[in-house]
Amino acid sequence: MLSGNAIQKPGDSLSRVKGDNPLTGPFYVEGAEPGDTLAVKILDIQV
């Protein structure tokens, strides 16, 4: 399940997902291009 149960099985439409998710993205990384592999280190999380 993903995004508040909007996607529950393969084939479910992404159009049911409303907006971005601050935990899963999308994220902007300056200089990154499609196909790049990124390493991420989370230093702090605030809720």
What DSSP designation does 8 have? -
Whether 37 is covered by a domain: the verdict is no
CA-angle at 28, arms to 42 and 35, nearest 5°: 95
Say how many Å lie between the first and final Cα of the chain, rounded.
Answer: 22
Whether 44 is covered by a domain: the verdict is no
Whether 42 is covered by a domain: the verdict is no
The CA distance from 30 to 12, in Å, is 31
In the block, which residue shows the tokens 């529950």? 8
Answer whether residue 1 shows pLDDT above 50. Answer: no
Residues 40, 34 contacting (CB under 8 angstroms): no
Whether 38 is covered by a domain: the verdict is no
Domain extent, residue 13, equals 1-29
Read off the pLDDT of residues 3-47 as tens digits, 9 standing for 90 and up. 565 555 676 666 656 666 667 777 788 999 989 998 888 899 887
**Number of folded domains in the chain?**
1
